Amino acid sequence: MDAAQRRLSSALENIPAGQYKALRLHLGLDEKTNAAPTSQYPADHPLNPNLNGLHWSWQGGYIFLALEGAFRAKNGSPAGFSYHLARSPNRTALTFEGDFDLTADATVDFAFDVPALLNAQTPLSFTQDGLSTPSHKGDPIVAALKANLKDAFTLKGVTSSLPEISRTSTVKPIAMPAKHTPYRFTMSGYFSIPPLPRDNPLIQEHIALGQKLFHDTALSRDGTLSCASCHLTANSFTDPRRFSIGVKGRIGTRHGMPLFNLAWKTSFFWDGRAPSLREQALKPIQDDLERDETLENVVAKLEKTAKADFALAFDSEAITPERIGLALECFLLTLTSFDSKFDRSMQGKEQLTDEEKRGFELFMTEYEPRMGQKGADCFHCHGGPFFSDHLFHNNGLSPIETDTGRERVTQDERDLYKFSTPSLRNIALTAPYMHDGRFETLEEVIEHYDHNLRRGPTLDPNLAEHPPTGIRLSSEDKKALVAFLKTLTDEKYLAK
C-alpha cells in the first residue's frame, strides 16, 4: 500500500472458501520471502521493488513500513522525520476476530490511523526520541512502532464484492504488422521486471524505425536538429551543455536528462508531465525552445521519405503522430545500462578498491547520530539497482522561482520545487548536474548535500531530518564517495 501514490488496494488469490473466525494481517515478510530474489515478481506485483520502492537493494530485504513527513519545530522552522520498520525479526502479526463469510469473493476494508502509530501505547516525540530510525536491533523507536501498530490498524468491515484490482483486461497491440520479429529484452539479474507497454510490444521493426526517427532532423522546423542532437551516446544520451540549444539558437531552461533504463519509469521529464515515453517523445518536437515544429508538418515531411519504413513497422504505410510516438518509445525502451565496474564487482568478476568500497559503504549508510551512525545517506533516493527511486523530491537547492518543478504539473503546493530523481548510473558521464545543470562536478554535488541544503516546507524528509549544520563528511569520505560514483560507469557509453 502507498498512501502518497493512492495505491490502496491489493488482491489475494487462492484463499480457500469458507467461514472464518479470524483474519490475521502480517506487517512484514518472513525471513525466506524477505531474502528471496526480487527479479521473480511481475511488474504489478506488490513485492516488485520498482512498484513499491521499499527494497533495501544491495543490503537485501524490504522496508515493511515507511512513514516520512515534516513538522514544525518549537522555533517554528520546518523539520523532517523518517521512520522505517524493517528486518524479519520486526515482522508484526495483527489478528482480528469475528465471523467472516469468505465463501465467495470479498473485500476486506482496513483503516490505518497515523496518529495512533505515533501516540498509542508508546507515544513518540520527534524532538525527544529522534527524527529517524534505520530499524536496528534495540532501537526504542522500532519498539514503539511495533507496540503502536495494533492500535493503528482497524478492521472496518468485510463485504461480498470483487475488488476492482483483481479484474484483468485484454490489451491488444496497436497496428502490428503481419510479419514481425520479437526483440529479446535483456537486463541485469538484479533488475526487477519492468512495466513494458502491452499495447506496443518490442519488435525489431518498431525499434529500427524508432532509431531512424531518433536521428532524423526532419523532426525539427529548420531541419537542423534531431533527438540525438541533445542526447549524445558518449554522454549516456544526455547533453554535455548546461542547457540544450534549440532551433535558431534558442536556449532551454533545463538540463537534458539521460535516456537509459527508461523501461522502469512511469513518468517523464524533470517534472513528470508525460505519463508515457510515446507522449514524451513528441513534446520536444513541438516545444518552441527545442525543435519548434508541428506534428502535422512532421507527418507531411515523413510521407515523402519514410512510407516504406512505416509499412514495415505497422500494418500499413500510414504515418501518424501516434505511430511516430510508438516507434520512438520502442527504441528508447531498448536503451539499458547495467554493466559497470560496480555491477561486475557484485558478480565477483572484479574488485573495488578500498576507497571505492568505503564510498559504497557511506552511500548506503543512513546518517543517524542518535545511534552513533554516520553516513552519506544517499540510498534513500538513489537506492536500488537503478540508483534512483524514480520519484520526485525537493533536494534542497536554492530555487529558481520561475521553475516550480512538479508543482507546475500537479498544481499541488506539496510538490513545490520537486524534481525527478535521476539515476546515478553513468553519473561521471552526465555532467553538469541537477535539473538546471548548476553543478559542474561531482565534488560540487557532494558539497551541496553535505552542508548547503536550503530548508523549506517541501524539503525531502530524509534530508530535512539532518541537522542545519549538515552531515559534515570528512574530505577523505567525500573523495571515497566520488570514487564509488565513478564505478557506476557503463563502458559501452564511453567515447570510442
Three-state DSSP string of 350-385: CCCCHHHHHHHHHHCCCCEHHHCECCCCCHHHHCCC
Q: Which string of DSSP letters, residue by residue, matches 278-308? A: HHHHHHHHH-TTTT---HHHHHHHHHHH-HH
User: What pairing do the DSSP bridges indicate for beta strands 419-420 and 392-393?
Assistant: antiparallel
pLDDT value at residue 452: 94
Lowest-pLDDT choice from 5-19, 179-193, 209-223: 5-19
pLDDT tens digits along 56-91: 888 889 999 999 998 888 888 888 999 999 999 999
pLDDT value at residue 168: 56
Grade residue 163 by pLDDT with cuts at 50, 70 and 90: low
- Share the mean pLDDT of the chain: 94
Beta bridge partner(s), residue 95: 24
* Distance separating alpha carbons of residues 442 and 440, to the nearest angstrom: 7
* Distance separating alpha carbons of residues 270 and 478, to the nearest angstrom: 27
pLDDT mean over 335-360: 97
> Of 402, 436, 431, which is closest to residue 419 (Cα–Cα)?
436
pLDDT value at residue 493: 84
pLDDT tens digits along 256-271: 999 999 999 999 999 9
Going along the chain from its start, the domains and CATH numbers come out as: 18-166 (no CATH), 204-333 (1.10.760.10), 341-493 (1.10.760.10)
> Of 131, 123, 112, 56, which is closest to residue 86 (Cα–Cα)?
56
The pTM assigned to this predicted structure is 0.92
The secondary element (H helix, E strand) that includes residue 310 is helix 307-313
Q: What are phi and psi of 342, to 5 degrees?
A: -60, -45
pLDDT tens digits along 184-201: 999 999 999 999 999 999
pLDDT tens digits along 309-347: 999 999 999 999 999 999 999 999 999 999 999 999 999
